[in-house]
Amino acid sequence: MTLLTILLLTVNETLTASNAIIAVSLLLFNLTRNLNNRVAKSSAVVLACVACAYVSDAFIALGPDNAAHEIASRLQWIGIAFVPAAVYHLSDALLATTGLPSRGRRRRVIRVLYLIGAGFLLSVAFSDSLVQFVEVQDSLSIEAGGAFLVYLLYFALAIGFAFYNVQRARKRCLTRSTELRMAYLQIAFLTPAIGIFPYSIVLPAGAEFTVFGLLVINTANVIIILMLFFLSYPLYFFGSDMPDRLVKKKLLDFLLRGPATGLIALAMMNFTAQATRILSLPGEAVAPPAIVGAVLLWQWFVSLALPYFEKFFIYRDEDDAQITKLQTLSDRVLTHDDLTQLIMATTESICDHLRIDRAFVISFEHALPEFISKVGNLDFAESDLLEDSDLLQQLTQLPRESGAKTHLQWRDYTLIPLLSRRVSGNGAQALPVGALGLPRGEDALDSDSATPSSSLQPFVRRVETSLDDMRLQAEIYNLLEGLLPQFQMTRSRAVQVEYLQSSAPSTTAINLPERSELFEQVRAALRHYWGGSGISQSNLIQLQIVQDLMQSAEDTPVHALRKILAEEIDALKPQGERKMMSPEWTLYNILQLRFLESRRVREVARRLSMSEADLYRKQRIAILAVTDQILEREQQVRTQ
C-alpha cells in the first residue's frame, strides 16, 4: 500500500467520523428546539437517518473484523432505507408552512414511503436480495442484489417529488427574505439523501480502496460536511419562537464550541497516531497532550473571536448598539442575592475593622423592614426590632441638615441610618434606605458630630450604595416582569406573516390566546395587582370579558381587569369557613395572601406552614387554575 493511499485512507477515516460528529451534533441541537413544529420534527428524522448512516460508516472505517463489518453495514441501512421518506416528509412540512397543508394525499404518500423503507430495511437485515457482501483485500465490499433497482426507483421518485415540493414552497413565499431562505434549503435539501447513498454498490468491487475511489469519496465527504452546515442554517428558523438574531447566535456558538471542537480533536488524534516519531516520541504518546492542547487553544480562540464573529455575521449598525446596551445591562445588574452577599461581606469587614463580634444591616426596601445581613449572635429576636414601629418611624424621619447624620440608641446597640444617594424627599434631603446596627460603646462615631468616624465612612457608603442598587434593580425587575409577558410578536407568529398566502389567512387573530402566553400575562397582572406595568399595560385588557365589563360598568380597563382577576380567585374558594391549614383552601389562600393582600413569600409560607419552594410550586398551580378559568370564560363569551 503506497504512502498516498495510506494518507487518503486516514483522511477518509477523519472525514467519515467528522460527518458522524456533525450529523449527531446537529441532531442533538435540533432536539432542543420546539419539536411541536412539523418542520422541526421532520428535520430531526432526516438528521437521525444521516447520523445513523455515518456512525455506522465511522465504525467500519476503524477496521473491524468481517463479521462486525457486515453487521455495521446492515445497520447502516436504517438510515439509508428511510432517508428518502424522511426527506419527502420534510418537504411536505415546508410546503404546509407556506399555507398549503396536505388534504390527505401527501400524508398517505408519506406513510407508504415509510412502509416501503421498512421493507427495504427488513430485506437487508434478513436476506441478500438487496445487497451482497464479498471479500476484497481482506475486507468486505458491497455489491448490488437483484432488488437494488427497486430501491433506486424508490429513491429517485421520493427525492424527485420532495424537490418538487420545495420548489412549490419557494414559489409561494411572500417576501424576499423567506424566498431566499427557501432557496438555500433547495440548494442543500438533497444533501442528506445524496450524502448517505451507498455509492460503493454501483462501483466495481474493491474500487473504493483505490486512489481514484478514495479521492472521489473524500471530495464527496467534504462537500457533504459543508452542505450539512449550509442546510442547518435555514432549517433552524422554522418553528423557533426566537428572533433571527438569537437563532443565528445560538447556532454559531453551538457550531464553534460543539462540532468544531470535536473535529479538531479527531483530526489531532488521527494524524498524530499515524506518525511514527514526533520529537523522538512515538505518535500514540504525543496524541493525548496534542488533543488537549488543540482543544484548549481552540476554546481560547473562540472566546476571543466569538464577539467579532457575532458582530460581523449577526449584529449590524443599530442592532449592534442596542445589543451592546442590553449586554452591558446584563453585566452590570446584580441579583438580590448578589447584593445581599456584598452587604454581608461589607458587614463582616466592619466587624474586623472595629474589632467587634456582631453587627447587622436592615433594609427599608419593602413595606416591612427586613434583615439583610447579620454577623455574630445577636442577643435579641429579629421581630423585636422589626416590630418596634416607633423606633423605625424615628429612623425613617430623622432630620437631615447640611449632610449631618444622627443616630439612635436601641437597647445595647447604636443604629446608624443608611441614606440613599438617589432617593430624596423635600429639597436635597436624603431619605434612609436602611440602618446599620453596632454594639453600643464602640469607637464608631465621632464624639463631636455624632456621625460615623472617618475610617468607618467608606464601609457605610458601600452599604448605602448596595442598598440603593438593590432598590433600583428591584424597580427594573418589576418593570421587566410586567412588560415581558405583553410582547405579542414572537418568531413563530412572524412565520405566519412571512409564509402564509393571502388566500389562506391565519386564524390566530380570532383564536383564543395560547395557554402558556396567557399564564405569563395572568402572573404578571397578579404580581402588579395594586399597580404596575404588569396590569396597566397587560394584553389581558384586550380580552372580550374585560371589554364587556368595561362597557357595562363604565369602568377603567385596569379596574375591570382587577375585578375579573378577583372574581376568578374567589371562584377557587371552597364552601364553608376559611381554614389556613386545610389542603382544599391552599390555592385560594396563596392567591389571596400573595396578591390580593400583597404579603411577602416568607410570611405566607409561615402562615400556611410550608416551605418557600413548596409555596412557589403551588402558587404556579394556583395561577394556572385562574388562567384556565379565564380561558374557559373567554371561550364561552366568544361562542355566544
Question: pLDDT (tens digit, 9 = 90+) per residue, 84-131?
Answer: 999 999 999 888 888 788 888 888 999 999 999 999 999 998 888 888
pLDDT digits (tens, 9 = 90+) for 220-245: 778 878 877 777 777 776 656 666 67
68 or 407: which leads in pLDDT: 68
How far is residue 577 from each of residues 171, 309, 540, 625, measured CA to CA in Å?
Answer: 66, 64, 32, 21
Q: Are residues 563 and 531 in the same domain?
A: yes
Query: What's residue 587's pLDDT?
Result: 92
Q: State which of 420, 449, 478 marks the end of a domain.
A: 478
With a cut of 70, say whether residue 537 has pLDDT above it.
Answer: yes
* 212 in the same domain as 63: yes
**In a domain? residue 484:** no
Q: Which of 279, 309, 332 is the last residue of a domain?
A: 332
Q: Where a domain ends, among 446, 478, 510?
A: 478
Domain span including residue 553: 492-639
> 265: which residues sit within 8 A by CB, 6+ positions away?
291, 294, 295
Q: What is the pLDDT of residue 590?
A: 94
Question: Is 485 a member of any domain?
Answer: no
Q: Which residue has the higher pLDDT, 262 or 514?
A: 262
Condensed to tens digits (0 to 9), the pLDDT of residues 322-362 reads 667 766 776 677 777 888 899 999 999 998 888 888 899 99
- pLDDT-based confidence at residue 503 (cuts at 50, 70, 90): very low
Overall average pLDDT of the 521-546 stretch: 87
Among 112-126, 143-157, 277-291, 459-473, whose mean pLDDT is lowest? Answer: 277-291
Most confident of 230-244, 531-545, 621-635: 621-635
Overall average pLDDT of the 464-488 stretch:
78
Quick one: 360 and 294 in the same domain? Answer: no
In this structure, of 194-208, 238-252, 569-583, the range with the lowest mean pLDDT score is: 194-208
- Give the model's confidence band at 591: pLDDT under 50 very low, under 70 low, under 90 confident, else very high: very high
**Band of pLDDT at residue 627, cut at 50, 70 and 90:** very high
Residue 194 placed within a domain: yes
- pLDDT value at residue 331: 67
Residue 443 has pLDDT above 70, yes or no: no
CA distances from 612 to 369, 386, 478, 523 (A): 19, 21, 20, 18
Average pLDDT over residues 190-217: 71
pLDDT the model gives residue 444: 58
Total domain count for the chain? 4
Q: Is the pLDDT of residue 496 over 90?
A: no
Average pLDDT value for the chain: 80
CB distance 94 to 39 below 8 Å: yes
Confidence of residue 505 (pLDDT cuts 50, 70, 90): very low
Residue 164 has pLDDT above 80, yes or no: yes
Q: Kindly report the pTM of this predicted structure.
A: 0.60
Q: Are residues 91 and 30 in the same domain?
A: yes
Could you tell me the CA-to-CA distances from 51 to 156, 336, 431, 485 in Å, in that order? 21, 45, 65, 38
Please give the Cα distance from 364 to 398 (Å, whole number). 14
Q: What is the pLDDT of residue 553?
A: 78
The residue-averaged pLDDT of 475-492 equals 67
486 in a domain, yes or no?
no
609 located within any domain: yes
The span from the CA of 107 to the CA of 165, in Å, is 13
90 with 237, same domain: the answer is: yes
Specify the DSSP class assigned to residue 197: S
Q: At what angle do helices 38-61 and 77-97 cross, to 10 degrees?
A: 160
pLDDT of the residue at 502: 46
Percent of the chain with pLDDT over 90: 17
Same domain (yes/no): 429, 469: yes
Looking at residue 109, its pLDDT comes to: 93
Please report which residue ranges of 173-210 form alpha helices under DSSP H. 176-188, 191-196, 199-202
Q: Are 358 and 377 in contact (CB under 8 A)?
A: yes
Cβ neighbour number for residue 217 with a 10 Å cutoff: 20
Instruction: Looking at the structure, tell me whether residues 171 and 33 fall in a common domain.
Output: yes
Q: How far is CA 240 from CA 25, 34, 36, 235, 248, in A?
A: 18, 6, 10, 10, 11
Q: Do 456 and 508 fall within a single domain? A: no
3-state secondary structure (DSSP) of residue 445: strand
CATH value at residue 157:
1.20.1070.10
Q: Do 32 and 167 lie in a common domain? A: yes
Highest mean pLDDT among 131-145, 292-306, 396-410: 292-306
Q: Are residues 22 and 150 in the same domain?
A: yes
Model pLDDT, residue 509: 41
Same domain, 180 and 101: yes
Instruction: Tell me, yes or no, whether 70 lies in a domain.
Output: yes
Q: Which pLDDT belongs to residue 141?
A: 75
152 and 37 co-located in one domain: yes
Q: What percent of the chain has pLDDT over 70?
A: 81
Cell numbers 460508516 correspond to 57
What's the pLDDT at 504?
45
